[in-house]
Each structure stands twice: as C-alpha cells, then as structure tokens.
Amino acid sequence: MKFIHAADLHIDSPMRGLDTYDGAPVELLRAATRRALIALVDLALLEKVALVILAGDIYDRDLGDFRAALFFREQMTRLVRGGIRVFVVKGNHDAEGQISKKVPDVQGVHVFSSRTAETIDLEDLGVAVHGRSFPERVVSEDLVPSYHDPVPGRFNIGVLHTSLTGRAGHDPYAPTDVATLTVKGYDYFALGHVHTREVVQEANPRIVFPGNLQGRDVRETGSKGCELVTIDGNKIVSADHIPLDVVRWHSLSLDATGLETVNSLASRFHEVCQGSVEGMRDLLHAMRVTVTGESVLHAMEARDPGTIAAAIQAATQDFDLADLWIESVRLEFRSPVDRNTVAQRADAVGEVVRLVDELASDDEAMKTWVMENLDRLPALPSDLSDVDPNKLTTEHLRAFLADAEATVLSKLSAAGT
C-alpha cells in the first residue's frame, strides 16, 4: 500500500511586491501553489496511492472569496473519484477560527476535529489514522497526549501540525518533542508547519516534516514536494521525497574576487549558475544573486549603479534555459583596500574607515547609530515596507555597515579625494 504525506500548501499565498520587479513572471509565480497541488493529485493518481495525508495550512489566510476553496475542493474530488481517501488536519493558517468561507464537504475527505483527537480505523487497508486540527491560530499546548492509543494490528499514522521543540523562522505552535511522539507507539508521524523538509527520525516511528509543496519566496529555496511512502503490513518498504514544485527558488553566492571586467563577471556567473540549474528544465528557476568578495568592479558599480545587475541579467541570456529569472542582485562585495593603511590617512577616506571601526567595535553603539540615522533615509521600497529594523541582527548591521563603507570609499576615490 502507498500513501502520500504533504503539508503547507498555502494555496494562493500572496507574493507581495512582485509588481515592482521588472520582467517578473507574475502570473506564473502567483499560480505556482495551485499548479503544485495539481501535480500532487496527478502523482497520487499515477501511483495509485490509497491515502493522501495533508498536515495543515491548506490555505495561507482567510479567504477573500470562494475561488481558492472551490479549487481545493475540485482537486480533492479528483482524488476521491480515483478511489483515494484524504485526511486533513488544520494548522495555524487554516484553523477553524481563521477561515470564514465554507464550501460543501467532499465525501471521502476527512477533516479531523479541532475539539478532540480522532482515530479513523481503515480495516480494509490495515491502517489507522490519528489526528486533531487547530481550533484557533495560536495553539500553545502539546496536542499529542490527547491522541488515542495505537490500534493493534494496524499501521498507525499520526497527523500533527507542530513546531516540535522549535524551528527557526516558525512560530512555536503545538510544541512537543521526539520522546513524546515515540512513546505514543505509532509507526509514522506525518508532521506539518515547518517549510524545510526534515526527517526528524528514521524509524520507530518515522517522523517527517515534508516541507511545503511549493516554495513561495527566496527564503524557501531548493526542492519542494511531498513524501511517497510504501508499506507492507506494518513495515515501511520505501519513503521518498518527490519534487512537485513548479518554481524552484535559488540563493546564489557569486564571489567576484579578482574580477576586473563585466565580461569576467558574466562568465563566472555562468559557471556557478550552471551547476544549480543543470538538468532541471521543466521548472521556472527564480534566483537571488549575492555578489561577494573584493573587486575593482565595486568602484565601477559606485560610479554607474546597476552595472553589476545588468551584467548578470545579460549572462542569463546566454543560457540554453528559457525559464531563469533573476529575482534580485544583492551587493555584498567591496573594493580592494588596505584598511589599516587607509585608516591612518588624515582625509575624509581615513575618517570613514575610522568611524566604521569605532561603530563595529560596540554592538549597542552601532545599533543606536543606525536607528538614529534611519529617519534620514527616504521611504523603503514597497517590497521592503514590512521590514522591522529593530529585528535586524548585529551580523546584518555589520554587513550593511561594511557595504556602506565600501560604497562611500569608492565614491570618494572616484571624486579624487
């Protein structure tokens, strides 16, 4: 028997700021979560799985209209018509108290109660599925103790939306730990909430975050999809990650050290990028490029802003790969300078270096200085309007400070100072 375990579909998740990107494939990006779900249903029908398990966050937020709910229902109907049973728990994004739009249920799709844990005994398959949905967005209690005991003689699957003991970038909802899951006596825990695939425990029980079905931005890089599990009796025969994403996000670091021309930069980008996208031609590759290192190209960029981004955009035209989009080019490189020597100078260049050294030596002083000077800056671009400066780490601030120093030094040098 085979089953699919997926989570965090986030259907129609808003991708803010796309309209500010020149040449962004907006329609394809916005349709990606739907296309990934269609791919999951196609896979389930092709593999003739018996069950599809969805471990929370079907939707991203309360529905503005019925279109997302009707689309999801349509895909569930395809599964049921193919003889596949579906089990769903609601997570923090699609909790009972979060989603106001309702459409008729699909017979064959079981949504677990939020009031109490339930167990569905599938005697014909030799499987028991246990689960409980979120009643509200914030669930601070461990739900696992409320789950029923395993059904004897069955392959027992627990479905749970949780952060476990905590995962970076994810709110600590329904916290629990591996020991609590293990003592429950189940064979498999199908988890949701964490968007990065993680095999928490290989066996007894197998505990897995499948990650989300489709990466939504550059913070969610790499292959996204579901788990395809084959069992024989009460034993797992195979368990594989199956990619289903239609947009693959990449974060590429490009070392510009020693490069002196835009041609050499384009060549290096081509070499590094080729390894990231090679053999993956059926996807849109969305890429953020961060340029690092020390190069005289920094002075060129300071004199003519946009030079580096244009060189990388031009390099994409040389790929035998039509679906490659540069989401942004971030500049974290600097001009080659001997900072110790420059700091001894009595001019403006030396003053800049000495100021940066002074600020970087004291975390609190650096943060205070940055916060005080932010008020002098113009409004942030729309895609950064929700950034909270108070949440920036000292590492972020040092990186920004170093980049600002390099830019100022380049401009002073270009002016002949």
Maximum average pLDDT range among 296-310, 353-367, 385-399: 296-310
> With helix as H, strand as E and coil as C, how does 25-69 read?
CHHHHHCHHHHHHHHHHHHHHHHCCCEEEEECCCECCCCCCCHHH
Against a cut of 0.75, is the pTM above it?
yes
Q: Is the peptide bond before 205 cis (omega within 30 degrees of 0)?
A: yes
Q: How far apart are CA 242 and CA 43, in angstroms?
A: 9
Residue found by looking up tokens 């909790």 in the block: 95
Question: At what angle are helices 262-277 and 307-316 packed, to 10 degrees?
Answer: 50
Domain boundaries, the chain: 2-243, 246-336, 339-417
Q: In the prediction, which pLDDT does 19 show?
A: 57
- Are 107 and 71 in contact by the 8 Å Cβ rule? The answer is no
- Short-list 209, 207, 213, CA closest to 197: 209
Residue 39 has pLDDT above 90, yes or no: yes
The CATH H-level superfamily of 2-243 is Metallo-dependent phosphatases (3.60.21.10)
Q: In this predicted model, what pLDDT tens digit does every residue of 240-293 receive, in sequence order? A: 999 999 999 999 999 999 999 999 999 999 888 887 776 666 788 999 999 999
- Are 371 and 388 in contact by the 8 Å Cβ rule? The answer is no
CB atoms within 10 A of CB 39: 19
CB atoms within 10 A of CB 186: 26
- Name 157's bridge partners: 129, 188
Q: How confident is the model at residue 360 (pLDDT cuts 50, 70, 90)?
A: confident
Q: What angle do CA 243, 284, 251 make, to 5 degrees?
A: 85
